Structure 1
Amino acid sequence: MKNHLTLGGGALALSLFAGSALAAISPQEADKLGTSLTPVGAQKEGNADSSIPAWTGGLKAGAAPVENGFLGDPYASEKPLFVITASNAEQYKDKLTPGQLALFKRYPDSYRIPVYPSHRSASSPQAVYDAIKKGATQVQLINDGNGLANFSSHYTPFPIPKSGVEVVWNHETRYRGTNLERYSAQVTPQVNGDFTAVGFKENTGFPQFMSDNDPAKSANILYYYKQEIIAPSRLTGTVNLAYETIDQLKDPRQAWTYNAGQRRVRRAPEVAYDGPGSAADGMRTADNSDLYNGAPDRYDWKLIGKKEIYIPYNSYRLMSPKLKLADIVRPGHINPDHTRYELHRVWEVEGTLKPGARHVYAKRHMYFDEDTWMLAEVDHYDSRGQLWRVAEGHQASDYQEGTGVYAAQTLYDLIAGRYLVMNLINEAKQGTQYGMKYSSTDFTPAALRNSGIR
């Protein structure tokens, strides 16, 4: 993997005159990365009572046995320190989000949060750390925060963030590993828990790892993404393709869909913002994937600060191939027997819909893990100011690849009493495969016709 991770790629060709550019941090401030701060910008020390430990490098390759790409659990022998339920949630409310408290009220007899010892397991390759430190003194916000200039380092442009939109960018540009292929399932259970799983084959390619990468042509491409529906049979063969761009105001996300029934490829501008999520039965928007994705231009982002809360973490049990989907899916919410929460520091950001902008979510209250920049919790409010949907990202550290992953992404609809859970790999034929050999021709509209099997 070290041979693949380079700092190559030309500077992003975005004109600074497209909007006022905000200065990057100084070299002196960047020197904190890897010294008083972790290489990605988190506080290195633990908290006052040591319930959050110091970061000492995270998990390394071989931390647990890996079988057919499925990660073993380095903490399998641990038991919960305590369990938060509806009856004692008030005691812990200062370390819970409004969304978590709402879930206790919505499902008082079944929803619970098992709290385990905290482990700061996040780690990445040294080349990623070097890229982050290099880019921290170069990358600038442009277009009112909706684009990045000089983003040639590829990862986490603002490890010492000064604004809410910078934290959002860190989530969107975090290191996700090398080119990958993943098989996963998405489930939208009925109120009684009945479900039919939708199976996906997903391929993600990053320009810096493409065999034919041309930095000049890919300067505004963050990654290429292709998603094929492989189950159930009535949906099989539908394929979506997207080019995720860095400045989506300059070059909006390009997306296409191959419709198996019509046997043709069409543009798919709805694969953005609050367009319907793929095969999600109306239970998520396009930008709910990854808990949040896409252009940040429709919201004003307020950086509230840091706090300590209980978030889903080191969720290895939830991604075990020993579990079946039926072991996880329950009425109202996923089975808490297989979840794990830990106390961690998070960046708190609030996104408020701009005047005149359109989106079904009027406000998004977000909590980002400081060690990975991955979203852990998001509370979504409707136009009346009512808490509507609660998202949780059950993350784990892929200690083989050196990246954070979601064992599951959940989105609970408090009003409908239903939910969506995606990213489940438990019944996949193999775990996520990295180091895939892709070229740009694998991610073209013409290639979609070859992907669809009907």
Structure 2
Amino acid sequence: MKTTHSMLTTVLATFTLVGHALAVPSAAEIAELGNKLTPWGAEKAGNADGSIPPYTGGLTTPPATYDPARPGWRTDPFPNDKPLYTIDSKNMDKHPDKLSPGTQELMRRYPTFRIDVYPTRRTAAYPQAVLENSQANASRCTLNEKGGIADPAVCYGGIPFPIPKTGQEAIWNLFARYYGKAIEYQWTANYVKPSGEVVSPSVTNRQEASGFYSDRKPNWRGYTRTEYTGPARLRGQATYWWDMYSDLDRQAWTYSPGTRRVRLSPDLAADTPIAALGGAVLYDEAYLYDGNFDRFDFKLVGKQEMYIPYNNYKLMYADTNSPCHASKELLQANFPNPNCMRWELRRVWHIKGTLKSGQRHVFAERDIYVEEDAWYGGIHEGRDSAGKLYHMTPVGIAASYDIKAPAQGTAMSFDFSTGIYVYNALGVNGNRPVEPHSENQMTSNSLNRFILNP
């Protein structure tokens, strides 16, 4: 029996290694990076009818209206752009292959919902080091048997799989989206009931950092620290978590000022509803996907053209005088004011997640559509066990042209079961680039004091 078991183990290990080997891009494919493909794997060419233009280097110069003394607040570089056309319930049948199922569902449910389609502006740009590392990662990044990064010491500084072969590799590219080393911001969570009533359950300061772009080359692929500044019942509460490279484990802690204790918080993951967002968003549907591979099998379906929110400066950086500010005309019943949303035709990678046998989650299936230039921006949709659309989360991004970082965005989420939607509004300083926390601040013991200053 021991011999049989040993032989089976060897066969399975060999099969796993072969499976990983087959996923490695060929030398000819890697040679396309920097030629037909960008260093991070997007197609340089436009599409057949020119509605998606060729990539020419992205947006690298801030507009004249940008104020360097206010880093993190980025004015619209395309204020004179006008919509090319509008799609709503009356003409949606003319665009079925370019509208996600969730976008179509919004149009069917709400006849006044529409998307205004603007010219496609390929604004993504990266620092030279990120371009070089992304290209080098094509031949040096591999995954281990858990789907984690096999060797973070050699897989760093760029998009890890610019020529993705599997759903897991595409998810890792999403994890490694480039928004700088770290960002700090304030946000006000809002959820809107079907009646139009706006509820703001929390105001928080937050810092996020990416291990891929850290000078320290840590063993975590990302961390998030959140400090609650309002309302009064939450003020002083703080959370902190690391997401790890190799085993994709999340290590999380919460500080409660009522008990003055820091506690482990393993529930800040997977399909736990986020209380600060009214419970209408799950932890693992943030950022299009923010979980591990324990519960879902992910398949890379391919690439397609789709209308998604993009270059949403008018929405994301709406000041208090703008009608698109959350306190003005943005938050209305059923969906945000369409005048404030910019949609573009983009090429997106489609990743499909299917719940594994024996696992539990409120989603039985999930579809992730992530834009090719930024490896961020797009749409996440989750279906329940009956195959019915449950949640839709569009993520509209606006490139940080001041630091050549394409992957900063703002999300909203629609809960089709309740009719509630969520929108998180940035504070007056936007999301500014910062250096990651020092080592002594990256501990659970630091949660009993505020250290963020967005």
Q: TM-score, normalised by structure 1?
A: 0.89
Shift of 1:224: 2.2
Tell me if structure 2 keeps the 8 A contact 1:18–1:142. no
1:331 corresponds to 2:333: yes
Shift of 1:105: 1.1
Shift of 1:199: 1.5
Which of 196, 200, 203 matches 2:199? Answer: 196
Correspondence 1:121-160 to 2 at 5 A: 121-150=123-152, 151-160=154-163
Shift in alpha-carbon separation, 1:256–1:437, aligned structure 2, 3 A: closer
Correspondence 1:88-237 to 2 at 5 A: 88-108=91-111, 110-150=112-152, 151-197=154-200, 198-207=202-211, 213=216, 215=217, 218=218, 220-237=219-236
AA at the equivalent of 1:120: R
Shift of 1:127: 0.5
Shift of 1:31: 2.4
AA at the equivalent of 1:43: E
Tell me which moved more, 114-123 or 29-38: 29-38
Mapped partners of 2:158, 2:99: distance in 1: 30
Instruction: Name the residue aligned to 1:54.
Output: 54
Shift of 1:231: 1.9
Mapped partners of 1:128, 1:383: distance in 2: 40
Deviations 1:148-204 (A, max 9, x none): 435532432111111122111110112221222111222112222222322221112
Which of 280, 289, 306 matches 1:309? Answer: 306
Instruction: Name the residue aligned to 1:401.
Output: 403
Mapped partners of 2:212, 2:438: distance in 1: 11
Tell me if structure 2 keeps the 8 A contact 1:210–1:438. no
Question: SS at the partner of 1:51?
Answer: coil
AA at the equivalent of 1:383: S
Which of 296, 299, 312 matches 1:299? Answer: 296
Mapped partners of 1:378, 1:31: distance in 2: 32
Q: Percent identity?
A: 35
Deviations 1:117-152 (A, max 9, x none): 111111111110111111110111211534443553
Shift of 1:206: 4.0
Question: SS at the partner of 1:103?
Answer: helix
AA at the equivalent of 1:96: L
Instruction: Name the residue aligned to 2:8.
Output: none
Shift of 1:297: 2.7
Mapped partners of 2:279, 2:208: distance in 1: 24
Correspondence 1:302-381 to 2 at 5 A: 302-319=299-316, 320-321=318-319, 322-323=321-322, 324-326=325-327, 327-381=329-383
Tell me if structure 2 keeps the 8 A contact 1:241–1:256. yes
Mapped partners of 1:397, 1:313: distance in 2: 9
Instruction: Name the residue aligned to 2:4.
Output: none
Shift of 1:406: 4.4
Instruction: Name the residue aligned to 1:5.
Output: none
Tell me if structure 2 keeps the 8 A contact 1:366–1:375. no
Which of 20, 23, 35 matches 1:22? Answer: 20
Question: SS at the partner of 1:325?
Answer: coil
Tell me if structure 1 keeps the 8 A contact 2:74–2:400. yes
For structure 2, the residue ranges without an aligned partner over 5 or more in a row are 1-12
AA at the equivalent of 2:180: G
Shift of 1:437: 5.7
Tell me if structure 2 keeps the 8 A contact 1:19–1:142. no
Question: SS at the partner of 2:198?
Answer: coil
Shift in alpha-carbon separation, 1:366–1:205, aligned structure 2, 3 A: closer
Shift of 1:210: 6.1
AA at the equivalent of 2:164: P
Mapped partners of 2:419, 2:150: distance in 1: 39
Shift of 1:282: 1.5
AA at the equivalent of 2:380: V
AA at the equivalent of 1:22: H
Shift of 1:379: 1.5
Mapped partners of 1:301, 1:206: distance in 2: 23
Instruction: Name the residue aligned to 1:431.
Output: 430
AA at the equivalent of 1:313: Y
Question: SS at the partner of 2:199?
Answer: coil
Shift of 1:233: 1.9
RMSD between superposed Cα atoms in Å: 2.2
For structure 1, the residue ranges without an aligned partner over 5 or more in a row are 1-15
Question: SS at the partner of 1:73?
Answer: coil
Shift in alpha-carbon separation, 1:143–1:33, aligned structure 2, 3 A: same
Q: TM-score, normalised by structure 2?
A: 0.89
Mapped partners of 2:358, 2:274: distance in 1: 23
The number of residue pairs the alignment matches comes to 427
AA at the equivalent of 2:34: G
Mapped partners of 2:47, 2:135: distance in 1: 25
